[in-house]
Structure 1
Amino acid sequence: MSGAAIKGKTSLEQGDYASAIQYLSEALNTSKAPNWLLQRSTAYHRIGQHDNALRDANKALHIAIKRGKRELIAESHHRRGIVYHGLKQYGNARMCFYWARKYNEKLPGLTMWLSKVTANYEANGSEQADSNVITVKEVPDVVEEAEQKVEPALSSSSENEKDKSKNGVSTECTNSTHPSSKIRHEWYQSKNTVTVNILAKSVPKDTITVDIQERSLDVSFTTTSVHNTCKFSFDPLFSNIDISKSGYRITPHKIEVTLHKCNPGLKWPNLQLSEPIPIDESTESAQDKRGDSGNIKIQSQAPVYPTSSKSGPKNWDTVVGKEAEDDVDADGPDAFFKMLYKNADPDTKRAMIKSYQESNGTSLSTQWSDVGSRKFEIVPPEGVEVKKWDT
């Protein structure tokens, strides 16, 4: 494995997605390894760049098919399914997970994702629902790579205004006849924080100025290569931030700014607010929805999906959790099934035990109305033969 690929994998595991993309892109310039494409797809997905994530997953699938690697084909379909789920295309996501299961039934996290996407699919109605329409192909068309970058270097004020209106970010670099296209920004978020990375190498620390305000962020610095003075302005931010808990750190490759949300749990669709947030006056007055600081209060209740289980509707977002989305290898499916069994009602537990024992561990069902009336057959994975042993 190349040094860049190792750094990319490490950055991905540490949650430094911008650096992961940078290192993995460098590695992919030397070899189009499917594993590296899938890792970069994961990094793109976690910062909300779903198109790039899907492109990498599709490309990994094509290479895996050419090499005849069943496990890689399954992993590529699995990654495609996760990306489509992030795009709220549940019909397409479910098909990708089915294709993944065809090539590897024991793929870590696959059963969990099938349960989650099926709940989303059923909650959104019939097959005619926009989110449930199936348009995905098992073997997708090849799309050439087109790296997405934010170009901060501009030659005139008119170009700066054009860039601001297009990207929602005011960026400017001065005193340069050959501005560097490698200076750009990426951002991603968690439940409590928003992280903004300004990707610029070897910036002198004494030239960096970071101004964090309640609804804005300004970063300026001077590069050593061509002595540019670069400025990034994010104003207004999508929502209020807690200045006292926010801060930044400087590495050889970037300036990393961590902004703490005043409204934990609020998912920012964009880094900046492009238009006012609508308030529904019919159900609650604007005054009731706003606190003393003028912030809109966020309802923390997660969506609940219908189910035939006697225990009532299950909130799969709570069951799965954010970190389970891509890091299923950390605990594996066993942890998910243990949690599912622990919180189940007696009929669900009976169904799980009966289906698992009768199928010799090859099937699992939670519906007693189905399990109680039939005997489960042993259905081994492809290539495995069932043998009976004398007791």
Structure 2
Amino acid sequence: MSATTLGHKGLEAVKNKDYEAALPLLDKALASSNSPAWLLARSQTHQQLKNYDAALRDAELAYHTAAERSSGTSRKFMIDAQHRRSVILHRLGRYADADCCAKWSMLLAEGRPAREDDGVEKQVDSNGNYTVTVEDAIADNAGQPNYNPMSGLGPGGDSATSKPERTGFESEWTRAYTWRSQVLSMLKSLPEDHAGRKVTVTKIPTKPEPQKLEPKVEEEIIDTSDKNDAEKASAPAPGSVPDDQLKLRADFYQTNQNVTISLFAKDAKRENVQVQFFNNYVQISSIPRSAAPYVQPGDREAASTFTLGGEIVPSGSRFTVTPRKIELVLQKATPGVKWSTWGTEEIGISAPKAGVSASPVAASSVVAAPEKQATPAITSAPVASTPKPTGAPAYPTSSRSGAKDWDKLGDDEDDTNKEDINGFFKTLYKGATPDQQRAMMKSFIESNGTALSTDWTDVANRTVETVPPEGVVPKKWKE
């Protein structure tokens, strides 16, 4: 199979979020060619598999490969590489570094020179802490590419309010712009002496050496009757996989009353998963581990203790299990209090820590039925009802699905995907001034979701045009 075929198959696997299948395909393709597209896809794959060092290395190599090729797509790949660096650094808790890379992604999308000394990484105080805030990021739209290709002038033809012409990377600019609010919100919650406040990255990363993969010896064909014995003999011993690689990828969102945590566990089965809710932590057993498929229900690796970011009401909490994730819906003990983080995972069932309350509730009394399945009869104590969250204002939208509640936008898979951007819109919208909020709603609605502006003076007196991604032609409903 040619490298091109392998690369296309790897990209398709990443698109379908089948990262375990994507990795060997991309490894083989990249053994022949350092394609920036394949490197970025493998970077995303490593990130999803929590191989963060490898993910960062591929993103940085993709940046250099794209810059050296100087083709028509080079800038696009460089923009994506800086954004991918930002996402991975965020995962590593290096929030100041993550914001710098997001800003560099914006500057490239604005058409600025790649080697320009913009001083982004120099915005630190006397202690070396990064000084950029969420408010600074919201106001940082002066270089936003112009969505009106007919004129570079602002409302009324005032050249003082002119914005840069279109660059073709408007969607990439918006992606980085919205992402920064999430990064800086996390930075704001850190202690003053936290390492995540320090800037350690450079705009142009050190070029990594191309990875050399050891050639694999062709496997001996094993008779089908001996297959199970052979798999058992080749399986790694329990405890040989580092705990950090075993931990589940988690996303969360919250309302005034509840915190919903999605723990991504492929092939999770409702009949196997056991959950116990405590005041400050949750214990889950029989978790399938993609990083260690040999794990059995009784092994230490099959269980985890999740220390929560706040206190909950165990009797008002519940969970669901689907083939891709375990979802916890936790009722806050103190409604209205915002959690800065969902918590942390520790492999195995650990004893309660000092200061952590242990008031368990049997899983059978709080389990919600699996999604898209018939609800079985429950013979134990009834499910405690969860108070409905106070309704947040719904704003007008051009979407056929109806009005949007910007405080309840969802979450799901990757940081760069739609669900995470929706979460960032929530932070962005809440922190904006009334004029900025009006500008965001007007530009988003009138452009059919393809443009976002926080500059009311720019959009107040004009209709914001629909600007689809490059290569896409907009059509009216009746066409």
Q: What's the counterpart of residue 46 of structure 1?
A: 48
Q: What's the counterpart of residue 77 of structure 1?
A: 82
1:99 aligns with 2:164: no
> How far apart are 1:362 and its partner, in Å?
10
For 2:46 and 2:425, how far apart are their aligned partners in 1? 29
Q: Any idea what SS the aligned residue of 1:26 has? A: helix
Q: Is the 8 A contact 1:194 1:260 kept in 2?
A: yes
One-letter identity of the residue aligned with 1:51: D
**Superposition map of 1:166-181 within 5 A:** 166-167=240-241
Mark the CA change 1:259 to 1:337 in structure 2 (over 3 Å): closer, same or farther. Answer: closer
One-letter identity of the residue aligned with 1:16: D
Q: Is the 8 A contact 1:77 1:100 kept in 2?
A: yes
> How far apart are 1:35 and its partner, in Å?
0.7
> How far apart are 1:86 and its partner, in Å?
1.2
> How far apart are 1:322 and its partner, in Å?
3.8
Mark the CA change 1:91 to 1:346 in structure 2 (over 3 Å): closer, same or farther. Answer: closer
For 2:235 and 2:4, how far apart are their aligned partners in 1? 38
**Structure 1 length as normaliser, TM-score?**
0.55
Q: What's the counterpart of residue 292 of structure 1?
A: 362
Q: What's the counterpart of residue 355 of structure 2?
A: 280
**Superposition map of 1:212-251 within 5 A:** 214=274, 215-216=285-286, 232-233=295-296, 235-236=299-300, 237-239=302-304
**Superposition map of 1:314-329 within 5 A:** 321-323=411-413, 325-328=415-418
Q: Which runs of 5+ in 2 are unaligned?
A: 111-169, 215-228, 252-261, 275-284, 306-317, 331-341, 368-385, 387-405, 445-449, 458-479
For 2:288 and 2:238, how far apart are their aligned partners in 1? 14
For 2:8 and 2:421, how far apart are their aligned partners in 1? 23
Q: Any idea what SS the aligned residue of 1:100 has? A: helix
> How far apart are 1:34 and its partner, in Å?
0.7
Q: What's the counterpart of residue 194 of structure 1?
A: 265
For 1:363 and 1:9, how far apart are their aligned partners in 2? 29
For 2:452 and 2:286, how far apart are their aligned partners in 1? 53
Q: Any idea what SS the aligned residue of 2:265 has? A: strand
Q: Is the 8 A contact 2:286 2:296 kept in 1?
A: yes
**C-alpha RMSD over aligned residues:** 5.4
Q: Post-superposition, which runs of at least 4 consecutive aligned residues in structure 1 deviate over 6 A?
A: 265-268, 294-297, 330-333, 335-345, 353-356
Of Structure 1 and Structure 2, the greater strand share is in 1
> How far apart are 1:95 and its partner, in Å?
0.7
Higher RCO (CA < 8 A, seq sep 6+): 2
Q: Is the 8 A contact 1:34 1:64 kept in 2?
A: yes
One-letter identity of the residue aligned with 2:266: T
> How far apart are 1:295 and its partner, in Å?
11
Q: Is the 8 A contact 1:279 1:286 kept in 2?
A: no
Q: Any idea what SS the aligned residue of 2:77 has? A: helix
Q: What's the counterpart of residue 35 of structure 2?
A: 33
Number of residue pairs matched by the alignment = 284
Q: What's the counterpart of residue 124 of structure 1?
A: 190
Q: Is the 8 A contact 1:28 1:36 kept in 2?
A: yes
1:135 aligns with 2:200: yes
Mark the CA change 1:166 to 1:233 in structure 2 (over 3 Å): closer, same or farther. Answer: same
For 2:361 and 2:78, how far apart are their aligned partners in 1? 51
Q: What's the counterpart of residue 66 of structure 1?
A: 68
> How far apart are 1:16 and its partner, in Å?
1.0
Q: Is the 8 A contact 1:5 1:24 kept in 2?
A: yes
Q: Is the 8 A contact 1:17 1:47 kept in 2?
A: yes
Q: Is the 8 A contact 1:186 1:196 kept in 2?
A: no
**Which residue of 349, 353, 369 corresponds with 2:437?**
349
One-letter identity of the residue aligned with 2:42: R
> How far apart are 1:46 and its partner, in Å?
1.7
Encode CA deviations 1:262-306: one digit per residue, 9 max, x unaligned. 746888746x4275453634xxx422xx21359999xx9xxxxxx
1:90 aligns with 2:95: yes
Encode CA deviations 1:233-260: one digit per residue, 9 max, x unaligned. 46122349x9x967xxxxxxxxxxx576
> How far apart are 1:8 and its partner, in Å?
1.4
For 1:38 and 1:317, how far apart are their aligned partners in 2? 32
Q: What's the counterpart of residue 120 of structure 2?
A: none
Mark the CA change 1:351 to 1:77 in structure 2 (over 3 Å): closer, same or farther. Answer: same
Q: Any idea what SS the aligned residue of 1:109 has? A: helix
Q: Is the 8 A contact 1:218 1:231 kept in 2?
A: no
Q: What's the counterpart of residue 162 of structure 2?
A: none
**Superposition map of 1:249-268 within 5 A:** 258=323, 261=326, 263=328
> How far apart are 1:22 and its partner, in Å?
1.8
For 1:331 and 1:189, how far apart are their aligned partners in 2? 12
> How far apart are 1:32 and its partner, in Å?
0.9
For 1:296 and 1:146, how far apart are their aligned partners in 2? 51
Amino-acid identity (%): 24
For 1:276 and 1:320, how far apart are their aligned partners in 2? 33
For 2:352 and 2:213, how far apart are their aligned partners in 1? 31
Q: What's the counterpart of residue 12 of structure 1?
A: 14
Mark the CA change 1:351 to 1:160 in structure 2 (over 3 Å): closer, same or farther. Answer: closer
Q: Is the 8 A contact 1:7 1:20 kept in 2?
A: yes
One-letter identity of the residue aligned with 1:278: K
For 1:362 and 1:212, how far apart are their aligned partners in 2? 46
> How far apart are 1:123 and its partner, in Å?
3.2
